[in-house]
Amino acid sequence: MSAPKPFYLTTPIYYVNDAPHIGHAYTTLACDVLARFLRLDGYYVKFLTGTDEHGQKVEKSAAAAGEEPRPFVDRVSGNFRELADSMNFSHDDFIRTTEVRHQEAAWALWKELEAKEQIYLGTYSGWYSVRDEAFYAENELVDDKAPTGADVEWVEEPSYFFRLSEWQAPLLEFYETNPNFIAPPSRRNEVISFVKSGLLDLSVSRTSFTWGISVPDHAGHVIYVWLDALTNYLTGIGYPDTKFEEFSTFWPADIHIVGKDILRFHAVYWPAFLMAAGIMPPKRIFAHGWWTNEGQKISKSLGNIIDPLPLIKKYGLDPVRFFLIREVPFGKDGDFSHQAIVHRMNGDLANDFGNLVQRVLSMIHRNCEAAIPEPGKLTEADTAFLANIDAALSEMRSAMMEQAFHKALVILWKRIGEANRYVDAEAPWELKKKDPARMCTVLYVLAEAIRYIAILVQPVMPGSAKKILDQLAAPEDERSFAHLNSEHSLKPGASILKPEGVFPRYEAVD
Ligand code: MSP
């Protein structure tokens, strides 16, 4: 057997200036779904997430909280880890930019850039937005603010510069020869026109504050927080030890999934830094959209930040995970509303999937002595029905590989709809007296269909899928995509557990 294919995927690392919210949960959830899918599909996955803990924004937030930066970042980073646990994320590593391993990586990359004469000393005078941690040219400002609406301040300080201007042509060539590097395509066009409009050298060190990684051998300068932060993707796989097996296995990264607001850093600065240091750029950057809250932009000043924890408490974890992935085509903006989540819970989950599982398992429990029935002889239609469910995997795989996560669920729910129609058409409850052998066949076919569907839904709703597979008595070590075949089909006579509803309807209590 050939060695499993490696796949390295990352989330952005989150600023520890504030409490985690739905936007943070969303980016990591998307990665988690992809990571789980790929593991089940036999890949050797490395999934990295973490926190971005340096820079002026974090320093200011610590001061505003009346804390020293160190204890402050320890505390807030802890909240992000807790969120990851509450969301059942399956990352393999959680990186913090205040860790020694990361400082070493940032120093090594800096020295590499310096050795290749990509960095020079000068003076920065221009606009800076602390909220965005970004430099803006005069002509980018809109009504004296950053194009993002953030406040800007005038900065004049000694600074090291990265020769970004020299990378305009190589970047354009790179986008040309790697058409899948930036997704979705609309974002790709945006980036290309930005680069075509000309690139200025980029300030990569700051001297007006100290909370950061110091520039090697140049006291007084700290490394620009974006250069520091982007390097985390290398740190996570052992850089600067490039001979280390992990690095050679996983670099270049297969995908960095980010929000649309931080695409420029990932699709322009990051490949330029890497090419300049003689390191291959990542294979793909996917920029997802933003959530609004009941139609309104989410912001602290509006006081409408969505904390995922109360949502999980109210609706349950898997319904929240399902809603976030199913509701909005990945890459597009979306609106969060309680009505929308309840609609998905009661429709897709309770009525469609939950009802299918509940009625089939209850009939087996009641009419087949709580054991998987004998399949007997399948009709051609039965075989075709199962073959169609079997075909879902390859369709879902194509959707996942282009990060159309919502589409993977649409593909699966099409099968759930067909399974429900099969139940109605075959009416096994009428067969009990009329033709008990046929009833067994129908219930066997349906149990097998549910096994497939539950295995395929694991990446999005791992907890609920486990409950269903446990109820079906599907062996724990036979739940990967390699077990989606007749060789691993349910064994007649195996006892099933008493079925318990997995997707309750949401009834408003207020
Ligand atoms: N620290 C940088 C990333 C450095 S990566 C080398 C950063 N952090 S962040 O905490 O501000 O944002 C992290 C992610 O959360 C981004 O991908 C951003 O798009 C996402 N979201 C923040 N608010 C969001 C919504 N309202 N909706 C969807 N995602 C949003 O940027």
User: At 111, is the pLDDT very low, low, confident or very high (cuts 50, 70, 90)?
Assistant: very high
| 245 and 352 both lie in a single domain | no
Residue 294 lies in a domain: no
Percent of the chain past pLDDT 90, that is, above it, reads: 94
Q: Which residue CA neighbors atom 29 of ligand 1 most closely?
A: 23
Mean pLDDT of 339-359: 97
Q: Which residue CA neighbors atom 16 of ligand 1 most closely?
A: 259
Q: Is 262 in the pocket of ligand 1 (CB under 6 A)?
A: yes
Q: Which residue CA neighbors atom 8 of ligand 1 most closely?
A: 14
- Per-residue pLDDT tens over the stretch 448-457: 999 999 999 9
Nearest atom, ligand 1, residue 257 CA: 17
**Of residues 12 and 304, more confidently modeled:** 12
Q: Is 14 in the pocket of ligand 1 (CB under 6 A)?
A: yes
Q: Is 225 in the pocket of ligand 1 (CB under 6 A)?
A: no
Q: What is the pLDDT of residue 73?
A: 97
Nearest atom, ligand 1, residue 292 CA: 26
Q: Is 26 in the pocket of ligand 1 (CB under 6 A)?
A: yes
| 281 and 357 both lie in a single domain | no
Ligand 1 mean position to 430 CA, how many Å?
Answer: 55
CATH label of the domain that carries residue 224 = 3.40.50.620
CATH label of the domain that carries residue 425 = 1.10.730.10
Mean pLDDT of 134-153: 93
Q: Is 48 in the pocket of ligand 1 (CB under 6 A)?
A: no
- Per-residue pLDDT tens over the stretch 54-75: 999 999 999 999 999 999 999 9
| 283 and 342 both lie in a single domain | no
Instruction: Determine contact, residues 51/97, Cβ cutoff 8 Å.
Output: yes
User: At 102, is the pLDDT very low, low, confident or very high (cuts 50, 70, 90)?
Assistant: very high
Q: Is 230 in the pocket of ligand 1 (CB under 6 A)?
A: yes
Ligand 1 mean position to 258 CA, how many Å?
Answer: 7
User: At 158, is the pLDDT very low, low, confident or very high (cuts 50, 70, 90)?
Assistant: very high
Q: Could you give phi then psi for residue 369, rounded to 5 degrees?
A: 55, 40
Ligand 1 mean position to 236 CA, how many Å?
Answer: 19
Q: Which residue CA neighbors atom 15 of ligand 1 most closely?
A: 24
Nearest atom, ligand 1, residue 14 CA: 10
Quote the number of domains for the chain. 2
Report the residue among 15, 232, 285, 336 best suited for mutation to probe ligand 1: largest number of ligand atoms under 8 A from its CB: 15
pLDDT over 60 (residue 7): yes
- Per-residue pLDDT tens over the stretch 182-240: 999 999 999 999 999 999 999 999 999 999 999 999 989 999 999 999 999 999 999 99
Mean pLDDT of 143-157: 94
Percent of the chain past pLDDT 70, that is, above it, reads: 99
Give the Cα-Cα-Cα angle 437, 442, 446 (nearest 5 degrees).
145
| 346 and 284 both lie in a single domain | no
Q: Is 34 in the pocket of ligand 1 (CB under 6 A)?
A: no
| 283 and 344 both lie in a single domain | no
The span from the CA of 73 to the CA of 16, in Å, is 6
pLDDT over 60 (residue 482): yes
Residue 307 lies in a domain: no
Nearest atom, ligand 1, residue 233 CA: 6
| 342 and 255 both lie in a single domain | no
Q: Which residue CA neighbors atom 24 of ligand 1 most closely?
A: 23
Residue 295 lies in a domain: no
CB neighbour list of residue 197: distance below 8 Å, 6 or more residues apart: none
Taking alpha carbons only, the member of 158, 246, 140, 274 closest to residue 194 is 140
Q: What is the pLDDT of residue 431?
A: 96
Q: What is the pLDDT of residue 302?
A: 77
Bridge pairing between strands 182-183 and 153-162: unpaired
Residue 56: exposed, middle, or buried by beta-carbon count in 10 A (0-12, 13-18, 19+)?
buried
Ligand 1 mean position to 51 CA, how many Å?
Answer: 11
Q: Which domain holds residue 374?
A: 338-488
Report the residue among 10, 29, 52 best suited for mutation to probe ligand 1: largest number of ligand atoms under 8 A from its CB: 52
pLDDT over 80 (residue 1): no
As a whole number of Å, the CA-based R_g of the chain is: 26
Report the residue among 17, 27, 257 best suited for mutation to probe ligand 1: largest number of ligand atoms under 8 A from its CB: 27
Sign of the four-CA dihedral 225, 230, 236, 242: negative
498 Cα distance to chain centroid: 34
Q: What is the pLDDT of residue 244?
A: 80
- Per-residue pLDDT tens over the stretch 320-338: 999 999 999 999 999 999 9
User: At 42, is the pLDDT very low, low, confident or very high (cuts 50, 70, 90)?
Assistant: very high
| pLDDT, the chain, mean | 96
Helix 270-277 × helix 100-115 angle, to 10°: 70
Residue 501 lies in a domain: no
Token couple for 234 = 């290398």
Q: What is the pLDDT of residue 18?
A: 84
Q: What is the pLDDT of residue 510?
A: 53
| 237 and 375 both lie in a single domain | no
Residue 430 lies in a domain: yes
Instruction: Determine contact, residues 363/429, Cβ cutoff 8 Å.
Output: yes
Mean pLDDT of 284-304: 89
pLDDT over 80 (residue 508): no
Residue 320 lies in a domain: no
User: At 460, is the pLDDT very low, low, confident or very high (cuts 50, 70, 90)?
Assistant: very high
Taking alpha carbons only, the member of 202, 212, 33, 221 closest to residue 128 is 202
| 229 and 347 both lie in a single domain | no
Residue 455 lies in a domain: yes
Give residue for tokens 């602390």: 130
Q: What is the pLDDT of residue 2?
A: 77
Token couple for 272 = 């330029």
Q: Is 258 in the pocket of ligand 1 (CB under 6 A)?
A: yes
Ligand 1 mean position to 422 CA, how many Å?
Answer: 44
Residue 454 lies in a domain: yes
Mean pLDDT of 23-38: 98
| 276 and 358 both lie in a single domain | no
CB neighbour list of residue 467: distance below 8 Å, 6 or more residues apart: 500, 502
Phi-psi region at 508: left, alpha or beta (left = phi > 0; alpha = psi -120 to 50):
beta
The span from the CA of 69 to the CA of 258, in Å, is 26
| 115 and 253 both lie in a single domain | yes
Residues recorded for the chain: 510
| 172 and 94 both lie in a single domain | yes
First to last CA, the chain: 57
| 379 and 455 both lie in a single domain | yes
Range in 30-39, 235-244, 299-308, 384-393 with the lowest mean pLDDT: 299-308
Task: Give the E-state strand segments of 53-132 in sequence order.
Answer: 93-96, 119-129
Ligand 1 mean position to 259 CA, how many Å?
Answer: 6
Q: What is the pLDDT of residue 489?
A: 96
